[in-house]
Amino acid sequence: MVFNSSTFLVFFVAFFLLYWWINNKMGVLVRNVFTTLASYLFYAFWDWRFLSLIIISSLTDYLIGLMLFYFNNQLKRKLLLISSIVINLGILGFFKYFNFFISSLHDLLSLFSINLNIHTLHIILPVGVSFYTFQTLSYSIDIYLKKIQPTKDIFSFFVFVSFFPQLVAGPIERASQLLHQFQEKKIFDYKKSVDGLRIILWGLFKKIVIADNFGILVDNLYGPDQPLSGVTTLLGALFFAFQVYADFSGYSDIAIGLSKMLGFDLMKNFQTPFFSISFQELWQRWHISLSTWFRDYVYIPLGGSRGSIARVNFNLFITFSLSGLWHGANLTFLIWGGLHGVLLIIEKRIKFNINKTLKGFFVFACFVLLLIPFRAENTTHFIQLSGSLFDWNTWSMEGIWNGISSFTAFKFFVFFGVFILFMIIEYQIKMLDFSEWIKQKKKWFRWVLYYTIIFIIVTVGNFDVKPYFIYFQF
């Protein structure tokens, strides 16, 4: 069940009406139980078998959180924290990385002429496992560090972990920011619900119009029948940058908007990152919930910016390499994360006194180029794509025409015009969200833009592809 589907529309309307009736008539406890069960139903549409993993992760950190708070013996507390880390990362590691590590071990031993009969397993990656395991793990770590106190309310904790708007693709919330909201009585706020609807509308526009149309172009440019070409590799990476941004930030916007309609505030996950003028700023504005998670639970514990230059460089490189590996069990993601770490290290050590606009273009260009390993299917594909950039014989326009052949000329230019409108609005929004930005405009402008966006979604939106979000695979 995905946000941009008729099934979800029916689900949410029914849930929304029952949710507010239960909240007003039966109180917080029943509301939380109902929301938890509805969230499990939402997840069961993907695969009901993996509900047990969410329950295990929730129960583990709920119990460990209580024991961490009441135990004073430091050795016992460390053992409890290690237990939380082992269980959560064990679940994540088995389902996401088992085959990757087995294959890597096999390749490593082969270098020394050691051939072992090692078999991989047919493992299905549970949707959202990378997100909710990090969310529950941060809860235990924060209690261990005495930043927060555990909750005794098991139902509020279970709904904190399984809350369906952000269950399968974030934002990755902290207990200090979200958990207490489930313990509060909610009062329906019409203005807040309208804010939520505005953000949802913008998120659907990003997903259905921008991301899914760019997705067709990217798939054509990188398709198996498309001959390797430097120009299609570069153009495909550029289009993929806009696809992945609109897709994931669109999901985050919808999640934030849905939550507002239910009385909850989630953290912003994107703040128009393509207008950043440094790599540090880019990562402060892109997938903020994950970037801050790695900052707080990996980079700072490693030493952060303290210590020698070599040590700080090491901390940055390791943090971004692990962030890359979080995205998938493939060397290409490790390369992607490691190279971003290298860019941040260079930026930290070398100051470039150039025009801010030029620096912004440079940052964006580097981001686009590094999406080549991110989009590549494997290391072999990445090497082939990278090699095509340096083969001047492949720089022809033929590949571009093949790549956009699924669009009529009229549709392509209409979509290009819509994309320009999208970028203008993104530039205007800056560090706000869509609702905060448009509330500053006159009433006539707001309504014209609402109807324009709806019209564009209906006429230009891509409804022919499976409406999956890219980050569901992570």
The residue extents of the domains of the chain are 18-188, 193-473
Selection from 240, 275, 261 nearest residue 435 by Cα: 261
Choose, from 122, 327, 340, 381, the residue flagged as catalytic: 327
Question: Within a 10 A sphere around the Cβ of 423, how many other Cβ atoms?
Answer: 15
327 is catalytic: yes
User: Does pTM surpass 0.95?
Assistant: no
Selection from 8, 84, 94 nearest residue 46 by Cα: 8
pLDDT tens-place values along the chain, 474 residues long: 788 888 999 999 999 999 999 999 999 999 999 999 999 999 998 878 889 999 999 999 999 999 999 888 899 999 999 999 999 999 888 888 776 666 655 555 565 566 666 665 566 777 888 899 999 999 999 999 999 999 999 999 999 999 999 998 889 999 999 999 999 999 999 999 999 999 999 999 999 999 999 998 898 888 777 777 888 889 999 999 999 999 999 999 999 999 999 999 999 999 999 999 999 999 999 999 999 999 999 999 999 888 889 999 999 999 999 999 999 888 899 999 999 999 999 998 887 778 888 999 999 999 999 999 999 988 888 998 888 888 776 666 666 666 676 677 778 889 999 999 999 999 999 888 999 999 999 999 999 999 999 999 999 988 877 657 787 776
Selection from 144, 268, 279 nearest residue 203 by Cα: 268
DSSP 377: S
d(Cα 451, Cα 187) in Å, to the nearest integer? 29
d(Cα 53, Cα 33) in Å, to the nearest integer? 18
d(Cα 278, Cα 284) in Å, to the nearest integer? 10
Query: What's the number of CA atoms in the CB half-sphere (13 Å) around residue 169?
Result: 21
